[in-house]
Amino acid sequence: MHELVSWGRVRLLGEAGVQAGNDATTPAVKITVLGSGYVGLVAAAGFADAGHQVQCIDIDVARVEKLRRGEVPFFEPGLREVMSRAIRGGRLTFGTEINAGHRASEVYFIAVGTPPLADGSADVSAVYAAAKTIREVAEAPAVVGIKSTVPVGTCDAVQAIVDEGARVPLRVASIPEFLKEGTALADFMKPDRIILGVADGEAERVLRDLYRPLQLSSERILVMDRCSSELSKYAANAMLASRISFMNELSRLCDAIGADIHAIRRAVGSDRRIGPQFLYAGPGFGGSCFPKDVSALAYQARQAGVPLEVVEAAGRANEAQRVYVRDRALSMLGGEVAGKVVAVWGVAFKAETDDVRETPALPLIRALVEKGAEVHIHDPEAADNFVRSYGLPVRCFENEYEAATGADLLVVMTEWRHLRNPDFPRLRTLMRTPNLFDARNIWTTFELGKSGFRYLGVGTRST
């Protein structure tokens, strides 16, 4: 998710800090959130919408100015509206510094980035820096909740940091966030579970009070020790990643022997012990969570002398799937790539986001460019991010049909809703060569072979 990758010392407000909104509202709980990425901003906006008084801190001055104007720095459906409402109501403010009023926060949330290091481990330096900032400014007893995804033992290390010279008692808790990009607000407001990793009853009491408005219909809090809470986040993401990789491996077998991955998904998913979720074959998982969390969990397990073979295999299978999809798409050009025009619909790693980190579209587009193809991309939210992030010479199109005009191959990489039922007769007239590669298997029921297309999916019978 869009989290900070570094955190410097945050100064007290007074020299140059400016607030958005006002502090007239009397909150149920006063909260400070360090980090305005996906986790931090959604949490800040969500808690403010629930009636709490929240200040969200970020070291990026330009980012903070945009937030004060109600501008969301990434695409997440519904977030702008909730954030703007909270700003207008005086419940949500932003700054590069913790203001005087929030030095008495009852809860501090650390929601900064933990990016992967070269060896696959998680870089928690920003978490430790944020902990030091809280230690230096806190003027009232508080809970320090770690929402960043962190290795087991991080909470204990943060507790040691805040205990060193703190003026007030600070209780560290692990509160992993299970948001999905594209449905983050709904996931926050109506969570499947709320995990509280605590070391004492007082931290549990404060956090139960804080989360009460988010579980009016039923109790969804799971209380456990901090280490178990930290591991639960990695375990959940690794389990989901493993299901995806398992189906992707099966899809390659289906292509080899002539079976249909859709039929297998229905057969396997109808087993109540398994269920249908995360059983869709495709181009491999991407984004900011699954790849780095699988890597970080595997690294920590190896360091502990207990290698997680299934988790490591899920990572290897994902890389193999990305290569497989790349090569399968290129095969439709018959070995002559130079001078061909290829349209790619969707470059975000999934629909309803503008996140292009670890996007499965990258290996294909990079290979096309290197082999001399002209690449046209269409994505309603992520096209500009893709160009900024990777600097590849591609042409961006607002309209999907303009991107496909003159194409020798059309590849769909992201399952945006408006791409699920395109005007195929129109495409047939616009494209130079009617080759379709469906990396998301969203067009398998259209019998496109009868419409004059050459069609390939992933693990499905070609038509």
Count how many residues are written for the chain: 463
The answer to whether domain 30-224 and domain 225-463 are alike in fold is yes
Listed residue (176, 280, 282) closest to 237, CA to CA: 176
pLDDT in tens, 352-365: 999 999 999 999 99
Burial of 405 (0-12, 13-18, 19+ CB in 10 A): middle
Q: What is the pTM of this model?
A: 0.89
Listed residue (129, 124, 195, 139) closest to 170, CA to CA: 139
Under DSSP, the state recorded for 116 is B
Centre a 10 Å sphere on the Cβ of residue 429 and count the other Cβ atoms it contains: 9
Give the span between the Cα atoms of 183 and 339, in whole angstroms.
Answer: 40
Under DSSP, the state recorded for 168 is S
pLDDT in tens, 135-185: 999 999 999 999 999 999 999 999 999 999 889 999 999 999 999 999 999
For the domain with range 225-463, which CATH number is right: 3.40.50.150, 3.40.50.720, 3.30.420.40, 3.40.50.1360? 3.40.50.720
pLDDT in tens, 11-22: 333 333 333 333
User: Is 289 among the residues known to form the active site?
Assistant: yes
Determine the pLDDT at residue 21.
38
Which strands form 92-95's sheet, in the order they lie side by side? 92-95, 53-57, 30-34, 107-110, 142-146, 170-174, 194-197, 221-224
Give the span between the Cα atoms of 392 and 326, in whole angstroms.
Answer: 16
Contact by Cβ (8 Å): 386, 359:
yes
Name the band, by pLDDT with cuts 50, 70 and 90, for residue 463. Answer: low
Task: Note the CATH number of domain 30-224.
Answer: 3.40.50.720
Q: Where are the domains of the chain?
A: 30-224, 225-463
Listed residue (86, 14, 2) closest to 46, CA to CA: 86
